[in-house]
Structure 1
Amino acid sequence: MSLADAKMFSVSTPDRTRLPMTLLADAPARPAVPPTARRGDIEGLRAIAALLVAAFHIWLGRVSGGVDVFFVVSGFLITMTIVRQIDRFGTVRPLVYVGRLARRLLPAALIVLAVTGVAALLILSLAARERTFSEIAAAAGYVENWFLAFSSIDYLARDAFHSPVQHFWAMSAQGQFYLIWLVLGLVVVWIVRRSAIGVRSALIAGISVVLAASFAWSVVSTANNQAFAYYDTFARVWEFALGGLTALVLTRIPLSRRLASVLGWFGVAAIITCGLLLQVSELFPGWAALWPAGAAVLVLWAHVQPTRYGADRFLGLRPLVWLGGLSYGIYLWHWPIFVFALYLRDGRPLGVLAGMAVIAAAIGLAWLTKRCVERPFTTAADSEPTRRVARAGLAVALAVVLIASFGAGMFERNRADAQVAAEQALIANPDACLGAAYRVEPECAGVVPRSPAIPESPPHDRSEAYAPECSVPPTEYAFRECSWGPDDAEKRIVLIGNSHAVSWFPAVKAIIESHGWRLDLFFKSACAFNTAERDLAADVRRSCTEWNGKLQEVLAEREPYDYLLTSYFAGEAEFVDAEGNPSDRAGIDGFRAAWEPAVERGTEVWAVRDIPTMSKTMHECYQQHLDELELCGALLRSDAIEEEDLIVAAGAGQDGVKVIDLTEYLCSETECELTIGGVNVYRDSNHLTATFAASMAPYLARAAGIAE
């Protein structure tokens, strides 16, 4: 997702830093144009960024880089605010600083969160509501970016519902940045009072250090784990810092009229084309984010020398200035309206007219919010009594949103847990045709499946294998094991791999319970049981390599297992050879190399073909219409099955390896089913529900050659 700017501060700047004589050690040079002039170009820049964000979300299904423009602009303005506070008070006053931020940011944000919560209750499914309320609480607490960062690296959450408040990630990062800048301002004042360094020089030095450190971290973390870095505040601070240095340094450097005109228009063109030429969500915020951030700097710098046909004149046009004044509200409103519209349209993309209606609605609501909600807080609090009332009102409103969202989230979670408990009780005593049996058992012909299908909330239907003590996240360097069954069991099975291997855990557990055997589990998200690496984030690749190495050591130290079951996500990242080039051969050889030590010691390997998967559009329809799946159309077998399943190729013709293909229980000759025998098959687009997997136990045993 991306952010639109929070319109927080006046867009005028002081003509010079008139600091108290005890602090003033370096007066700034006078810029080419007095910065007291109204910065209409900033409002126009905000308008373009906000419209780009909305348009790219709605019609292109990607992000534009507009959020980076807002970050630079916000850094520019907040830095001048820090300077003004030091100029006026000799320091940065935390209560004044935070109070002003709260009055400008919270009213609109809280009303959007509250309205979105009510709409979620009326429109979204149970699973979607629970996730949405969790994110509303995170957004109200200005930690939504971290909520998404830790979700984004979870392999199991790749199909997580995109909530109607997900765009608050950038508001959260921005709010955290403002606190960082408050601390920076206080540190600068402390240093200046104890040295001969001037305020402006100290600020420039401090911001430069922050920029360099953040940019270095951004480049490294983006290369290692881009999904996490995208939401990481510390990987984004450099963009705000770039705006701060622009305010303190570049606006003091004069430009010729011709150069100013060229830079301004080049900056505008670069901002508009960034999202078209770069896949922002997959590249940012490392080196690539210099494109929109640098373009915003050029536009801000070009203003020091206005020209008749410069970009600043275009950006200062009245319609753009008016829209810029609403940019905060446009950003806040456009995303929930868009998400709810998609939900009601079963995930079908919006056309030109529908998309324009979303943007028009966002503009209209932004205007109403500014007039009826924001303005009373920003203009009425001119005296201390009214400021106290405003602060108290905001505190109460924030508490209400937080408590209500937490409460609603817990309520929905309890409802989901109650459903799962009831469904588990049903599975413990199933009828003969529940689940997979319905497709293949002769006595099930003509039987009407139970309705509604279970589980009623598929995303919650995960097995105990996903417990934190049994699973290892993708980037975590850890090794965990869980076991079921007696220590002295006649036979022992080991289940190894990522979440696609663990999809079969309920079936394997049912098998060992019926035979009195033992099951050991080694589960690491995103990691196939393979000696070759995959084209994943660098830290995920390293952790998988280390985990596989440790696993081989553990297996070698134990008595040989009777059976080893493994599988993997065939549609995920490709395997790579030693030079880092995509290579199916490397993947096939890597599987065989991983299995070889176990096979040589007498273990029979069950190489299970990957399950059919849904497209994103099909999955969105599936989770929205569980009671009317006919609306989603057919999941074609040709689209759902990965023909190049390397685990099948690796096991073919290998002694000690049994390739197990259970596709016939999921698909006909032409289609793969979403609900079978009154059981919903999928937890998300590419994982089985625990309920359906449990119903596959006799058929997995049959395919493995285990006597019932």
Structure 2
Amino acid sequence: MTLTNSLSTDSTSTLPEGRVAAPAKTGFRPDIEGLRAVAVGLVLLYHAGITVIPGGFVGVDVFFVLSGFLITGLLIREAENTGRISLPNFYSRRAKRLLPAAALVLVVTALITWLTGAVVEFETFGGDIVAAAIYLVNWRLADRSVDYLAEGTSQSPVQHFWSLAVEEQFYIVWPLVLLLVLLVVRYTGAKLRPAMAVGLSFVAVPSLVWSIVATANLPAQAYFVTTTRLWELAIGAFVAVGAALWTKIPRVAAYVLGWGGLAVIVGSALVLHKTVAWPGSLALLPTLGTAAVIIAGSSGGSPGLLSWKPMVWIGGMSYSLYLWHWPLLIGAANLWGKPDALTGTLVVVAAIIPSWLSLKLVENPIRHSPAFARSVARTMTMALVLSLVGGAAGYALTRAVPQVETVSQEEVDGAAALKKGGDGQLQGIEVVESVDAMAPQPVDAPDDVPGAYAHDCQAPFDAVVPNYCEFGDPDGTRTVVLAGDSKALQWVDAIDAIAREKGWRLLVATKSSCGLYDAMPELEGRPYPDCQTYNTALLDELVEMKPTAVIVSQRHSQAIDPATGKLSQATMVDGTVRAWQRLVGAGIKVVALQDNPAPVGVDGDVYECVAEHLDQLSACAFDRAKGTAGSGTPAQLAAVKKVPAVKFVKVADFMCNEQVCPAVIGDVLVYRQGSHVTNTYVMTALPILRERLLGGTLK
């Protein structure tokens, strides 16, 4: 996001209407400052949760165009006046403008996160801060956005730095392209601006095409990466290249163009929603609208609203506002939960205070310092130091995670420590207050998953066609299929070990948030038709395949009743029964692996609770009855009663005693994200699972 103020803001006069006039000598354009105010206002209101502006994220696209326009204008004027472009001077100007405030905000953000954030996210967010300090955080966020296992991660306190990273990467590429253009002009005699337009096309056109393709196929990743955004900055650059043409536009036409462009920007913010795939072709609306406003202003047709003093004042502070508002919102969310619209608005308004202070006390003094103006080397040294300071703050945060001694999976007991009592029931599950060692560490729990995730064996939410991963013995004469949602996949490494021992061919056909049933589940408050379509296809294939057995598990106990549109356990039970009966009727054995109790009543995820309460682990235990009721078990048990041929395999008794479910058993952390079990604990339970799976149906 550009909020850089590259043009002089001195020597302005005031019009009677309260608007600021632009003196010809400085080239100051108050309408540009006003356009910045519109852009940052849209972003802030969107982040504050103002629902009437569901597309306020387009403010970032407005900033991209402004950045391309201002930076290219500076470079073109330098090339025309001197016949060259000084990269050291260019980068030193950028450093003075951007780094002082950014470094300050990164240090404060690390402190806010340490004071208010979840301990288990210190390492992730500290890494984000380091990446933000070197302007690569957009690629880090892009990787995380397509990582299923990262879905439980909160919003990064430096997530807004992604747009700054895009700009800085543009600032590296574009001046180099212009240097090549200057060489071509020098040796061919071509005119500078047309040659620049051609060079710019080689950046803009491929980026726009890729943006459309990537947004359609990889929307989460496409939002953050630089390659899908370069064309937006290029639009602003095109406007700068054609500057001489815009002054010839008739005043009336310029007014129409200016107001029309502003209407498109605001209209985009009012009509678009965060559910649309972005940027893609839709981003042409706010970007071309911004270009229209800039062009109109070049011919004196800028909307007068943009030149009003309050707008110019906000625009001049827009970079600081953008930097400060987001970590303050995240801090407020950490302390009091996700802010409502009123609280969010109060927070972003309060961000004016640190924004104004940092502008007056940090940004402007350094930017206008004679000492830095006289020495590029001194400026670049300052830039390096500030980058190191920001990165050091992030690194310090990653080291602030409390831990007990780290041990390997082989050094802990977990479920293997449990013994059978005289009545055949497992014994030995106790709630302890602390342990000297633990595996995995709480901070590592989200990554303690079966290897199947590395092979993309979990079908994504939008998958409608089954895709099988093969485990066990590929030459096995018996085929076993593991189906269901992620609560089935969490057991795959243990089942794979059993399959290899017994010579089974194990096929995995699990899908995110989609158990194997003939019913419509809910996903994030909405119907999940892709699940039902997937299951229809999977059941057809299983009946045709006729495996020896299908092992299933599921997280949810309710599905949408088609008659009422509401969630109903009876509907889920009936749908589960239909799916199981079809398999049993085809001569396929069905094993229902109990869904483990859900951590009902624990503040946050269990692993987060453990990280916060290493000396009071009882705070992270939960009631077994409530946990069972909040899991998929009730629907499973009800379905088993209607299809007695299905074998039900218990798991709750090696995770809970009769009353409670501890967070740590045998020095093993039991839970990772949500109600998922760590792979370490699953593997310690392998002997128990082997006995129960092979005790009847799957000999």
What is the TM-score when the length of structure 2 is the normalising length?
0.73
Residue number in structure 2 paired with 1:450:
432
**What is residue 331 of structure 2 aligned with on the other side?**
340
Contact 2:599 2:627 in 1 (8 A): no
| 1:193 CA displacement | 1.6
The match for 2:271 among 271, 277, 290 is: 277
Quote the offset at 1:472 in angstroms.
Answer: 6.0
Distance across 1 between alignment mates of 2:338 and 2:372: 51
Structure 1 pair 493/632, CA: closer, same or farther in 2 (3 Å)?
Answer: closer
Moved more, 318-327 or 384-393: 384-393
User: Does the alignment pair 1:214 with 2:207?
Assistant: yes
8 Å contact kept, 1:622–1:629 = no
Q: CA deviation at 1:407?
A: 5.8
Change over 3 Å in CA distance of 1:487–1:42 after alignment to 2: closer
Q: Secondary structure at the match of 1:565?
A: strand
Aligned residues of 2:211 and 2:229 also touching (Cα < 8 A): yes
Q: Tell whether the 8 Å contact from 1:11 to 1:42 is kept in structure 2 after alignment.
A: no
Once structures 1 and 2 are overlaid, which stretch shifts more, 234-243 or 448-457? 448-457
Work out whether 1:302 is the aligned partner of 2:296: yes
Of 104-113 and 395-404, deviating more is 395-404
1:95-134 alignment, distance < 5 Å: 95-134=88-127
Residues 217-616 of structure 1 aligned to structure 2 (within 5 Å): 217-249=210-242, 252-253=245-246, 254-280=248-274, 282-306=276-300, 311=303, 313-345=304-336, 347-350=337-340, 352=342, 354-381=343-370, 386-403=375-392, 405-406=394-395, 408-409=397-398, 411=399, 418=405, 421=408, 425-427=412-414, 430=417, 449-451=431-433, 457=442, 460=445, 462-463=447-448, 465-466=450-451, 495=482, 499-505=486-492, 508=495, 564-565=550-551, 604-606=589-591
In structure 2, C-alpha distance between the alignment counterparts of 1:181 and 1:462, rounded to whole Å: 39
Instruction: Select 2:164's aligned residue among 161, 171, 176.
Output: 171
1:10 and 2:1 equivalent? Answer: no
CA contact (8 A) 2:471 2:496 kept: no
Q: Is the 8 A contact 2:92 2:379 kept in 1?
A: no
Q: Distance in 2 between matches of 1:535 and 1:87?
A: 61
The question of 1:683 aligning with 2:672 is answered yes
Q: Which letter maps to 1:451?
A: E
What is the CA-CA distance between 1:94 and the residue it aligns to? 1.6
Letter in 2 for 1:7: T
2:351 match: secondary structure? helix
Preserved contact between residue 663 and residue 671 of structure 2 (Cα < 8 Å)? no
TM-aligned CA distance change 1:133 to 1:281, over 3 Å:
farther
**Aligned mates of 2:271, 2:305 — CA distance in 1:** 24
**Alignment check: 8 A CA contact 2:142 2:220 kept:** yes
In structure 2, the partner of 1:67 is: 60
Contact 2:107-2:393 at 8 Å conserved across structures: no
Residue 30 of structure 2: aligned partner: 40
Deviation digits for residues 264-285 of structure 1, max 9, x if unmatched? 3333333334333212364210
For the structure 1 residues 395 and 10, does the alpha-carbon distance in structure 2 shift closer, same or farther, using more than 3 Å as the test? same
Kept in 2, the 8 Å contact 1:497–1:522? The answer is: no
Query: For the residues of structure 2 that align with 1:268 and 1:633, how far apart are their CA atoms?
Result: 57
* Aligned counterparts of 2:95 and 2:186: Cα–Cα separation in 1: 29
Question: In structure 2, do the counterparts of structure 1 residues 652 and 634 end up closer, same or farther at CA, with 3 Å as the change threshold?
Answer: closer
Q: Which amino acid aligns with 2:159?
A: Q
Shift of residue 201, structure 1, vs aligned partner: 0.2
2:678 counterpart letter in structure 1: T
Provide the C-alpha distance between the structure 2 equivalents of 1:419 and 1:460, rounded to a whole number of angstroms.
12
Matched, 1:148 2:141: yes
Q: Which whole-Å CA distance do the structure 1 matches of 2:369 and 2:672 have between them?
A: 51
Deviations 1:194-244 (A, max 9, x none): 223211001112223422221111111111110011112111111111111
Q: Is this contact kept in 2: 1:652–1:659, CA < 8 A? A: no
Give 1:54's aligned amino acid.
Answer: L
Does the 8 Å CA contact 2:442/2:669 hold for their aligned counterparts?
A: no
Question: How far, CA to CA, are the matches of 1:469 and 1:621 in structure 2?
Answer: 24
Task: Tell me the residue number matched to 1:16.
Answer: none
C-alpha distance in 2, partners of 1:268/1:389? 41
Residue 15 (structure 2) aligns with: none
Match of 1:193 in 2: 186
The verdict on how the C-alpha distance between 1:388 and 1:699 changes in structure 2, with shifts beyond 3 A counting, is: same
Hey, what's the Cα distance between the residues in 2 that align with 1:510 and 1:360? Answer: 57
SS at the partner of 2:184? helix
Aligned-residue offset at 1:149: 0.8
Q: Which runs of 5+ in 1 are unaligned?
A: 14-31, 575-583
How large is the RMSD of aligned CA atoms in angstroms?
A: 5.4
Asked if structure 1 preserves the Cα contact closer than 8 Å seen for 2:482 and 2:552, the reply is: yes
Q: Write out per-residue CA displacement over residues 349-397 of structure 1, whole angstroms, 9 at most, x where no aligned residue.
A: 2452x33442233221122222222223211146665443332122123
Cα-to-partner distance string for 1:424-467 (whole Å, 9 max, x where unaligned): 7251654569xxx9xx96978xx862236987727625446238
State the alpha-carbon separation in 2 of the partners of residues 361 and 344 from structure 1: 16
The whole-number CA distance in structure 2 between the counterparts of 1:652 and 1:176 is 61
Question: Structure 1 387/463 Cα, relative in aligned 2: closer, same or farther at 3 Å?
Answer: closer
2:565 corresponds in structure 1 to none
Aligned to 1:579: none
Taking a change above 3 Å as real, the CA distance of residues 362 and 609 of structure 1, as seen in their structure-2 partners, is same
- 1:572 and 1:303 mapped to 2: Cα distance? 58
Structure 2: runs of 5+ lacking an equivalent:
11-21, 524-529, 561-570
CA gap 1:299/1:403 in 2 versus in 1, 3 angstroms: same
Amino acid at match of 2:269: G
Contact map agreement 2:114 2:122 (CA 8 A) in 1? yes
Q: What corresponds to 2:197 in structure 1?
A: 204
Normalised to the residue count of structure 1, the TM-score between the two structures is 0.72
Give the distance between the partners of 1:303 and 1:687, measured in 2 at CA: 57
Instruction: Specify the SS of the correspondent of 1:194.
Output: helix
* Structure 1 residues 72-94: Cα deviation after superposition (integer angstroms, max 9, x where no partner): 11111111022022123312222
Q: Deviations over 1:663-702 (max 9, x none)?
A: 999999xxx9996687876522363334665687688668
Report the AA paired with residue 466 of structure 1: G
Take 1:299 and 1:648, find their aligned partners in 2: how far apart are those partners?
A: 64
Distance 1:302 1:674 in 2: 67
What is the total number of aligned residue pairs between the two structures?
635
Residues 142 and 172 in structure 1, CA contact (< 8 A), matched pair in contact too:
yes
Distance 1:706 1:643, change over 3 A: closer
Q: Is the Cα–Cα contact under 8 Å of residues 214 and 238 in structure 1 kept in the other structure?
A: yes
State the alpha-carbon separation in 2 of the partners of residues 472 and 460 from structure 1.
Answer: 20
Letter in 1 for 2:362: V
CA–CA separation in structure 2 for the residues paired with 1:497 and 1:632:
25
Identity of aligned residues (%): 29
The 8 Å contact of residues 449 and 490 in structure 2, kept in 1 or not, is answered as: no
Residue of structure 1 equivalent to 2:131: 138
Distance in 1, matches of 2:415 and 2:427, equals 20
